[in-house]
Amino acid sequence: MADEKIENVLFLGKVHCYAVPPLTANKGYKASEWNIEDPKSVIFTARIRVIETSDTDGGNIKTDIKLEDPQTGELFANGPYEGSYCVTPVTDSSRFFALRVVDGPRRAFLGIGFEERSDAFDFNVCLQEVRRHSNMEDPTAGPGTAGRTSYGTGRTAAGQPEKVSAASALINAPPKDYSLKEGETISITIGNKGRRRPPAASPPASSDSSNGFPLPFLPPPPSADDVKKKRQSMTENEMLSESAFTGIPAPPTSSRSGFDDEFGDFV
């Protein structure tokens, strides 16, 4: 009974396997370097399964990524999943990954590629859930023993108690409630609305002034009627003056004779 194990299949899919050349720089893996366009570059088409194994009491949990023959179920390669460094996404595609496989003391990276982008997305989400439930200390830690945790034990590979980092404390902290409580209000300022505009600057004083005083405004020119009346008055005055001097009465003007000449007076 002590040797009984419980297996849970977390993911099931189909992948193509490729040979991965060694990295020459820290730029990550690229699927374009695997000759994925050439069907001959596929070394094996496998069934991929993510399996979680634990004791009957829920202890000693471990996760493996198995590549198997889709017809016979024979194991092609196995990759114990101990952190995000065991499965590395390529930098130029969302369907391809570099999987670390283990065969005894030997370790190597094998390229895997999904035919559908949705399957690759589900595979990535599955690994995220494994890391979250396995309480991994640092998902981005390298393949060394330092910083790697043994799942379900809460201890590092060296057997020392695990130290909770500040990032882990923030992740495990309970969510904060930012909702408004009863009676609380907030104020929002939108742009410059509600602000008074500054008074418009008065126009500068004219520079054409004498001794600091502005020039007076000239009166408007007289109208045509005013000019006509003024000329008529001057004519009558001259005629009256001449009549008084000679004793001959002055003839009546056009205005006194009952009509008005529209063409003006002629002297």
Q: DSSP labels for 145-212?
A: STT-EETTTTEETTSPBPPPPHHHHHHHSPPP--SPPTT-------TTTTPPPPPPPPPPPPS-EETT
- Global model pTM greater than 0.95: no
pLDDT of res. 259: 47
**Average pLDDT along the chain:** 75
> How is domain 5-157 classified at the CATH fold level?
PH-domain like (2.30.29)
Phi, psi at 211, each rounded to 5°: 55, 35
pLDDT of res. 216: 64
pLDDT of res. 179: 77
Given a cut of 80, whether residue 80 has pLDDT beyond it is yes
Higher pLDDT, 161 or 96: 96
Given a cut of 80, whether residue 81 has pLDDT beyond it is yes
pLDDT of res. 220: 77
pLDDT digits (tens, 9 = 90+) for 227-250: 778 887 887 777 766 655 555 555
